[in-house]
Amino acid sequence: MKKASAEKFATFRELLDWLDRKGMFSMELGLGRMRRALTDLNLSQPAGIGVQVLGTNGKGSTCAFLTSLARASGLKTGTYLSPHFVSPRERILIDDKPAGEELWRLGANEIFEACPGAENLTYFEFLTLLALVIFRSADVGAYILEAGLGGKNDATSAIPVAARCFAPVSMDHAAIIGPTLADIARDKAAVIDTGSLNFSASQYPAVKEILEDKARGANLRFVEPLPPHDLPLAGDHQFVNAALALECWRAFYPGAMVADLNGAFIPGRAQNISLGKAKIILDGAHNPGAAQSLARYLKRARIAPSSLIFSCLADKDWKTTLAILLKNSGEATVFFTELANSRATPLDDMIDFFRSTYPARPCQWGRFDEYFNRAILSGGTILLAGSLYLLGEFYALYPEYLIKTDKEE
């Protein structure tokens, strides 16, 4: 990575401050800015095996499995994920570790030096380009890209890849790419082309039909879940994500084995840890499909939470998600907290809905850290679910659980 002649950012902190001012949720549809910037950076054809992962639920887990497979194949691997919990550095990984602050700073300066329109890029566009610049400087042999939202206008869709994986598609981001499941499926299917291999998990019939229709003339394979097997990520739904990653990777490394999945790790997906006398289960479960997967996991693992801590973004179907979690949390104490996020569901809205819908069930509310500290001292099993941003409040207190440790159960 070359050093910029006129540096925009003298420190990593300056870069973070600039990103904060831009706003994580800034959005402008269209791939024109990305394609121009890729050309300016000589990244229109990145080196290495590229895989884009799209879908609604299971994208991050599928990326984790693909990363494990690529590393088991002997390749240095770059992984691009979203969102982050505590630091944006969590989004850009080299061999499962966050890229260093200096790589971020140098890469950001390289973008500003090469791209006349760098200042006008959205938050997600800039980080997507930064990931590719960092991957190039690290000389990765494979790069795994998680789509942020949809497919048609997602910044990752401007990047040529050898393969695409479609994790299960369900209702989410309906206000932007909906309003119907068919609309959401069409938006994600729009990326299919004849220049790459396409793999999909089992889908709802309407979604499958749309994917098949778009894939006429292109290579598209539907993948059945793996049979029950010990995997590093918990939950039956991971048999779907693992099979999708394995089938895709075997297109490049036919000898890839199920055992090559064992290096996968991603925080906040049915993650079990222990703190003092308490058992903590962390799962983003931010839409009904993810909540159903979590519910199946709780039932199979015979886990009965003593506390359910919930919060969600207002633009999600949080009422249905909450109903699913309540149905599968027994007599758990329910605690609501409002996220420090511009898209957060107001605390009063959650409490009013809960009291009107579940009048016989008590609830509490307030600051997450205060309630959580009391809960872990009381012991029992604490379930945090409803939003990855809620989990971010936990990881801000306990950042060591963002990486795999010997404390993982």
* 384 CB-near residues (< 8 Å, 6+ apart): 280, 281, 282, 283, 309, 390, 391, 394
Alpha carbon of 405 to those of 264, 274, 283: distances in Å?
Answer: 13, 12, 17
Every domain of the chain with CATH number 3.90.190.20 lies at 271-402
Under 8 Å between Cβ of 363 and 354: yes
**pLDDT averaged over every residue in the chain:** 92
**Tens of pLDDT along 167-193?**
999 866 555 555 789 999 999 999 999
Residues of the chain with CATH 3.40.1190.10: 12-261
CATH number for the region 12-261 comes to: 3.40.1190.10
At 342 the pLDDT is 87
Q: Compute the distance between CA of residue 340 and CA of residue 140 in angstroms, rounded to an integer.
A: 36
Output the pLDDT for position 371.
Answer: 94
> Is the pLDDT assigned to residue 406 strictly greater than 80?
no
Q: How far apart are the first and last CA of the chain?
A: 39
What average pLDDT score do residues 258-277 get? 95
Q: What is the pLDDT of residues 94-141, one digit of tens each?
A: 999 999 999 999 999 999 999 999 999 999 999 999 999 999 999 999
CB 233 within 8 A of CB 64: yes
Q: Cβ neighbours of residue 150 under 8 Å, at least 6 residues apart? A: 54, 173, 176, 177, 184, 187, 188
Higher pLDDT, 13 or 170: 13
Written as six digits, the tokens of 368 are: 């997450």
Q: How confident is the model at residue 195 (pLDDT cuts 50, 70, 90)?
A: confident
pTM of this structure: 0.92
Rg of the chain taking only CA atoms, in angstroms: 21
CATH 3.90.190.20 corresponds to the domain 271-402? yes
